[in-house]
Structure 1
Amino acid sequence: MALTLLLGACSSVGLAYRQADTLAWWWLDRRLDFDDTQAPRVRQALTQWLDWHRRHPLALAEDVALIEEIAREAGADTRPERLCRWAQQLRERQHLHLQTLAGGAMADVLAGLSEAQLRHLQQALDEDNRDWRERFLRGDADQRQRASRERFIDRAETVYGRLDAAQRRLVADRLRASPWDAARWQLERERQQRDLIETLQALRTLQAPERERRAALLQAWARRTLEPDDPQARQYREQLQRFQCELIAELHNRTDAGQRREAATRLQGWARDLRAAGAATATAAGS
């Protein structure tokens, strides 16, 4: 199912939650190369972000509840509309987490980036783009189609276990009609990256007393990463989402009882991991 495949990409969800601040630090520092003054402020901002989740157990409970709902539904046939509803809920959860991070002390830290650090970020993004093109734009159309099929099957098998030959043929047949265009998506990635650089440059022009404007600027960027302002980009994302919901609903409805039990078991395990991780971090914070 659409959301289960997304969840399948991060099956170590409990570990990711426990180490969210560390993982985010690593990702940010690689791209922005924080100096000795900035580094502790960034770590503190990330810790405060994770502390927000500890102080607001309802946020974690809603994440767990979403996974548990999908697990309960795994044994029955489904419809594309249901999958798209779950996908929308996932985007809303992502939006909440991004808005919380962007609205905290992180905006103040990012406002202090130097021109050299922005150049470093651009170089890191250029490297990311080269890696992305190597992965998704390599070879001719047939080679890209095969690679796309194998990526999809790998994600599906993370949830359902081994797919049989008929299920694999279904995936291959449907993906031939996919609206996914790697070259077009690369252009969208580059547009988002330019938006990020421009946002960070704008942050640098705001003075310390303008903290609320800094936070609002960064939160607006976070919103655009999930819901683009550009109508064509937004329409393309919606088209991709509908196709994915239809494909995954059809695949799910072709799975057997054993595969559905496997999906439910894995989802229930991820929900337990996330709940346990939240309890562990809350205990650590109070000790």
Structure 2
Amino acid sequence: MSRWLKCLTVVITLCFALGACSRVGLAYRNLDMIIPWTLSDYLSMNGGQKDWFNERLAEHLSWHCTTQLPGYLDWLDRLQDMVERNQVTDAALQARTQEAKQAIAQTAREITPSAIELLQGLDGKQVAEMNDAFAKDQRKRQEQYLKPSLDQQIRERGERMEKRLNDWLGPLSPGQKQRVVDWSKALGDQNTQWIANRAHWQKQFSAAVAQRQSPQFPQRIETLLVNRETLWTPTYRQAYANTEAQARSLFVDLMAESTPEQRQRLLKKIEGVRKDFNDLKCLKAAKQS
């Protein structure tokens, strides 16, 4: 259930600028994978639920495109300006990150009532299926991210980041490559805290859904979807703050060492993101109205 948040973050935060997703149009046309509709990953909906889902999804897509995307374009302008002036600072990145978090929260808040309605209509079999899928998800992530030794986790994390950076900046210099290695080492056993917190959230979500007919259910789900940070474990809260700080530091240092060619490549990528947004029919219609 956290992938919707991750993917939306990818679209409108620095992580997106580093290339975790390559085509905004593709991501946006599958916005059901961005907003909290990923229950479809964890359970099967019946015919009536699917019809209801499709109708609500269309409404939310229209709202998001006409009211939220213009703000994303402004956000891209600010990101582009930072790169053009070669003034990528920690303070500026903190500001962009805060703006992105606010946009995420606004979308989550808009979608939550529909998510609550969907969850309240689940039957016992669907809830059991969801819980089984959560358990499978945990086992899969533990196998992929925790089973390797810590040294291997650090190495693979660095390799993933370097691959993204190569796409958005072009080949890295030896100094930039070493900075990525140092970044990955600084995160240490982040995988452990991330997966533990994910399991913690899923457990709370399952407990809430088990009481889906109670008067407290809507507020509980709103907390889980909109204010999820309030439910983080203390250990993960600290690890997340470190992760954000390390990411900002990495990007500041990489841009400080960047060549004009790398910055031009990044600007071209950002412009591609802007074009993908502008090419969306719903945004064109909103501008003409």
The percentage of counterpart residues that share the same residue type is 20
SS of the equivalent of 1:136 reads helix
Q: What CA deviation, in whole Å up to 9, does each residue of 1:183-202 have, x standing for no partner?
A: 12211110111122122223
CA distance in 2, matches of 1:214, 1:42: 20
Residue 282 to residue 115, structure 1, CA distance change in 2 (3 Å): farther
1:227, 1:234 within 8 Å by CA — same for their partners in 2? no
CA distance in 1, matches of 2:53, 2:186: 44
Aligned length: 274
Code of the residue aligned with 1:30 in structure 2: it is: D
Equivalent position of 2:74 in the other structure: 65
Equivalent position of 1:143 in the other structure: 152
Give unmatched runs, 5+ long, in structure 1. 207-212
CA distance in 2, matches of 1:253, 1:227: 35
Deviation at 1:29, TM superposition (A): 1.9
1:21, 1:47 within 8 Å by CA — same for their partners in 2? no
Equivalent position of 2:173 in the other structure: 164
Equivalent position of 2:249 in the other structure: 246
2:146, 2:191 within 8 Å by CA — same for their partners in 1? yes
Deviates more, 1:176-185 or 1:86-95: 176-185
Deviation at 1:6, TM superposition (A): 2.9
1:5, 1:159 within 8 Å by CA — same for their partners in 2? no
Deviation at 1:245, TM superposition (A): 1.0
Structure 2 length as normaliser, TM-score? 0.84
Deviates more, 1:229-238 or 1:215-224: 229-238
1:159, 1:262 within 8 Å by CA — same for their partners in 2? yes
Q: What is the aligned-residue RMSD (CA, Å)?
A: 2.6
Match of 2:53 among 42, 45, 48: 42
Residue 79 (str. 1) matches residue 89 (str. 2): yes
CA distance in 2, matches of 1:276, 1:239: 37
Code of the residue aligned with 2:209 in structure 1: it is: L
Code of the residue aligned with 1:134 in structure 2: it is: E
Residue 61 to residue 41, structure 1, CA distance change in 2 (3 Å): same
CA distance in 2, matches of 1:275, 1:196: 36
Code of the residue aligned with 1:60 in structure 2: it is: L
CA distance in 1, matches of 2:119, 2:128: 14
Equivalent position of 2:228 in the other structure: 225
Match of 2:29 among 18, 22, 46: 18
1:160, 1:262 within 8 Å by CA — same for their partners in 2? yes
Residue 26 to residue 239, structure 1, CA distance change in 2 (3 Å): closer
Deviation at 1:265, TM superposition (A): 0.9
Residue 106 (str. 1) matches residue 115 (str. 2): yes
Deviation at 1:155, TM superposition (A): 2.2
CA distance in 2, matches of 1:160, 1:227: 36
Deviation at 1:101, TM superposition (A): 0.8
Match of 1:94 among 104, 126, 133: 104
Structure 1 length as normaliser, TM-score? 0.85
1:160, 1:260 within 8 Å by CA — same for their partners in 2? yes
Q: What CA deviation, in whole Å up to 9, does each residue of 1:107-149 have, x standing for no partner?
A: 2121011222111111212222222223212322221111011
Give unmatched runs, 5+ long, in structure 2. 1-11
CA distance in 2, matches of 1:220, 1:260: 40
SS of the equivalent of 2:45 reads coil
Deviates more, 1:219-228 or 1:42-51: 219-228
Match of 1:191 among 200, 203, 207: 200
SS of the equivalent of 1:203 reads coil
Residue 215 to residue 161, structure 1, CA distance change in 2 (3 Å): farther
Residue 217 to residue 178, structure 1, CA distance change in 2 (3 Å): closer
CA distance in 1, matches of 2:14, 2:202: 28
